[in-house]
Structure 1
Amino acid sequence: MEIAHIQTPLGIAQIAGNNNGISSISVSDEGTISTTITPVLQAAVAQLNEYFEGKRHSFSFKINPQGTEFQQKVWKALLDIPYGKTRTYLEQSKVLGDVKAIRALASANGKNPLWIVVPCHRVIGTDGSLTGYAGGLWRKKWLLEHENPTNQQSLF
């Protein structure tokens, strides 16, 4: 497993993967930035940097998240939420075909190993609230605003 740490506006992202794909991306407030990036991780690092620069809305590098069959199903459904859009947990449970699975869906979202790339930050509460986010609600708010900035209207 190869690992790199990069600086992002939200903290230090750790990217881990091998020739089978990127298996995890997480963020923390501490860490040491990598001085070299191995070829296996270069596409992920470049694309994450482009995302934060506002130049990328989707990711094309190979991913390989590890999880249960249900978690994999939930994470795959998250990939269908477009950049700049949100879905509620209820809407997402309907996409999965079981409205009673909201709690299980929320749990699987919380175990998403691919920060930003599998966009669990785009799932919100039915009332529009920013419920639950492993990286902290302030990061979820930042990501949603980054993807859908409010333009200041001119009075003149």
Structure 2
Amino acid sequence: MTYTTYYESPIGSLEIKGTEEAITSILFSENCNAVKDDTPILRECYNQIDEYFKGLRKEFTFKYMTNGTAFQNKVWAELARVPYGETVSYKEIATSIENAKAIRAVGATNGRNRLMIVIPCHRIIGSNGGLTGYAGGLWRKEWLLQHEGSFRE
């Protein structure tokens, strides 16, 4: 069974979905008035997302799961290692997973990330240092990077 709740962030509503065991997606949504479920894992995720937006949390500890190919899961695991407030390029991610020619595949996988903010796809930039692609919109990517920069130690 899948459960859903919503978090009103400064950059829009986040729809949080999960099972009894783990969070399965955190995506921007326009459906914030829908019925909200209340389970321990949703509550923990909600609280940690709230702490993130208040500048009190830099890492997430609730259980989540990804659902992708072996390559996608490898990319998402590498994205999750990018430190708070820092950025890396798609090329750097491809190199770190020992597949330097997979830059476009890394970008495509980044775009399929269903765990926004927790798997920090907003921290991935172009090789030239420019902001490129973000499913939530480049303005949100820029906001998240500035937010993290203001709370970075």
TM-score by length of structure 1 reads 0.91
The answer to whether the 8 Å contact 1:13/1:27 transfers is yes
CA distance in 2, matches of 1:35, 1:113: 19
Which is further off, 19-28 or 70-79?
A: 19-28
> What residue number does 1:31 align with?
32
**In structure 2, do the counterparts of structure 1 residues 109 and 86 end up closer, same or farther at CA, with 3 Å as the change threshold?**
same
The answer to whether the 8 Å contact 1:8/1:52 transfers is yes
Superposed displacement of residue 40, structure 1: 2.8
Read off the aligned partner of 2:127 and give its amino acid letter: T
> What residue number does 2:48 align with?
47
Paired residues in the alignment total 151
Read off the aligned partner of 2:55 and give its amino acid letter: G
Residue deviations 1:3-53 (CA, integer Å, cap 9, x gap): 001111111100000123100000134431666632231110000000000
Q: Is it true that 1:22 corresponds to 2:23 in the alignment?
A: yes
Q: Is it true that 1:128 corresponds to 2:120 in the alignment?
A: no
1:2-151 → structure 2 map (5 Å cutoff)? 2-32=3-33, 37-149=38-150
Question: Cα RMSD between the aligned structures?
Answer: 1.7
CA distance in 2, matches of 1:80, 1:36: 30
Identity over aligned pairs, percent = 45
Structure 2's unaligned 5+ residue stretches are: none
The answer to whether the 8 Å contact 2:4/2:36 transfers is no
Structure 1's unaligned 5+ residue stretches are: 151-156
Read off the aligned partner of 2:129 and give its amino acid letter: G
TM-score by length of structure 2 reads 0.93
